[in-house]
């Protein structure tokens, strides 16, 4: 067996983290250093950091929690500290009526999404997905062409989780507001997704395109010309996505520092006080003393959503026109799944 000096870097990192777990430095439920933290602490590549964390999961010492990252597994989830990782029912469930190949692709995509949700898109490599599925990396390439293809499949699956209803039926403004809120919930659930969506090279997938089509249907009876119609749809989608691009950075910062946004801001109180005390920012100084002024990503989304819809209002007729053939929506058509 190779000694500590000659062992691969990933093995040395795994051993160091395993020792922290064994000695109680890292206790069950504690967050394990993220791939980015490992890269900085040990000076290794992202792939090496991912391999080290994957080894800990294979040994059953850690588990991945959505929105949190990799944590030390509870003792009830391990066999004397060593053993196979706990299975994730959301990943392992088999969907009826699917071939083995389709089922395997589905498992690949859901596994990749689980990794990206918890640790970010950078940690979602083909090797990492294969490790979590306990298969050879080449087994993935027989079904998925590479990471770019995998990310496209992941994005399409995320949009599929938040399908629009069969048809808009809350007036154009209410319909667009509902769609934006559904997309905001989608990006909150999958913070990495906003960095995948592009408006210069859009996702040409069925479920993503369905959102664009639905947005245009919501305002199609308002007398808009084709150019305005597509620009309204793109503006609506881009507003939500543009706000959501901050979600992954927020999650990464919390994982890296272990501090929430409020905790981080309190830690910067001396720096903030010095800046405000200079007298150069009188308005900011007055606002900073008010407990009723709170700015969050959610509040920015809510404020921006209403202002965006206010801006679209002059373009639309005051008397919405129902499209021919539209009847009363069914009970499941007025909400998002």
pLDDT for position 68: 64
What is the structure's pLDDT at 204?
Answer: 82
Q: Is 315 in contact with 222 (CB distance < 8 Å)? A: yes
Residue of 91, 26, 37, 35 whose CA lies nearest to 61 = 26
pLDDT of the residue at 238: 92
Q: Where are the domains of the chain?
A: 11-77, 92-159, 165-259+278-315
Query: What 3-state DSSP class applies to 72?
Result: strand
Mutual angle of helices 171-189 and 206-219, in 10-degree steps: 160
- C-alpha dist (Å) from residue 301 to 120, 177, 184, 265, 291: 22, 11, 8, 21, 20
Q: Is 96 helix (H, G, I), strand (E, B) or coil?
A: coil
Q: What is the pLDDT of residue 76?
A: 45
- 50 burial via Cβ count (<10 Å: 0-12, 13-18, 19+): buried
Assign domain 165-259+278-315 to a CATH class: mainly alpha
Q: Which residues of the chain have pLDDT under 70?
A: 1-6, 66-69, 75-98, 166-168, 251-265, 317-337
- Nearest CA to 13 among 67, 68, 70? 70
> φ, ψ for residue 113 (rounded to 5)?
-65, -40
Alpha-carbon gap, residue 47 to 54, rounded angstroms: 10
Under a CB-based contact definition with an 8 Å cutoff, are residues 12 and 43 in contact?
no
Same fold for the domain at 11-77 and the one at 92-159?
Answer: yes
Question: Which pLDDT score, from 0 to 100, does residue 95 have?
Answer: 56
Phi, psi of 134 (to 5 degrees): 60, 45
Architecture of domain 92-159: Orthogonal Bundle (1.10)
- Structure confidence at residue 55 (pLDDT): 85
| Residue from 225, 217, 224, 220 nearest 179 by CA | 217
The two structure tokens encoding residue 30:
């504690």
- Residue 37's pLDDT is 80
From the list 190, 174, 285, the residue with the least C-alpha distance to 241 is 190
The pLDDT assigned to 239 comes to: 95
Helices vs strands, H then E, count in the chain: 15, 2
From the list 293, 294, 298, 284, the residue with the least C-alpha distance to 246 is 298
What is residue 195's DSSP assignment?
G
How far apart CA 83 and CA 80 sit, in angstroms, is: 8
pLDDT at 82 (0 to 100): 36
pLDDT score for 308: 95
Structure tokens, 294: 């709170």
Look at residue 168 in the predicted model and tell me its pLDDT: 66
What DSSP line would sit under 23-64, residue for residue?
TTSS-TTPBPPPHHHHHHHH---HHHHHHHHHHHHHTTSEEE
CATH number, domain 11-77, options 3.30.930.10, 1.10.150.570, 2.60.260.20, 1.10.10.10: 1.10.10.10
């Amino acid at each position: 067996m190779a000694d500590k000096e000659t062992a691969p870097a990933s093995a040395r990192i795994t051993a160091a983290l395993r020792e922290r777990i064994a000695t109680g430095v890292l206790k069950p439920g504690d967050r394990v250093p993220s791939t980015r933290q490992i890269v900085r602490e040990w000076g290794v590549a992202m792939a090496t950091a991912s391999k080290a964390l994957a080894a800990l999961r294979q040994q059953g010492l850690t588990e991945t929690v959505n929105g949190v990252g990799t944590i030390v597994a509870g003792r009830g989830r391990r066999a004397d500290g060593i053993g196979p990782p706990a299975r994730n029912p959301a990943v392992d469930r088999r969907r009826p009526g699917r071939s083995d190949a389709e089922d395997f692709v589905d498992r690949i995509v859901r596994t990749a999404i689980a990794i990206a949700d918890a640790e970010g898109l950078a940690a979602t490599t083909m090797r990492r997905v294969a490790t979590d599925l306990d298969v050879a990396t080449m087994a993935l390439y027989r079904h998925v062409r590479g990471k770019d293809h995998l990310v496209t499949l992941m994005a399409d699956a995320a949009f599929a989780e938040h399908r629009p209803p069969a048809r808009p039926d809350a007036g154009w403004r209410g319909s667009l507001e509902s769609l934006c809120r559904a997309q905001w919930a989608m990006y909150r659930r999958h913070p990495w997704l906003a960095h995948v969506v592009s408006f210069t090279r859009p996702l040409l997938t069925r479920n993503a395109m369905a959102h664009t089509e639905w947005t245009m249907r919501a305002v199609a009876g308002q007398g808009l010309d084709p150019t305005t119609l597509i620009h309204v749809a793109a503006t609506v989608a881009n507003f939500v996505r543009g706000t959501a691009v901050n979600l992954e950075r927020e999650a990464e910062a919390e994982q890296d520092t272990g501090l929430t946004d409020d905790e981080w801001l309190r830690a910067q109180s001396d720096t903030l006080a010095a800046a405000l005390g200079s007298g150069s920012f009188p308005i900011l100084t007055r606002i900073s003393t008010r407990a009723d002024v709170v700015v969050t990503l959610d509040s920015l989304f809510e404020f921006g959503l209403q202002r965006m819809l206010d801006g679209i209002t002059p373009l639309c007729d005051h008397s919405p026109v129902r499209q021919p053939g539209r009847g009363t929506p069914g009970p499941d058509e007025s909400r998002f799944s």
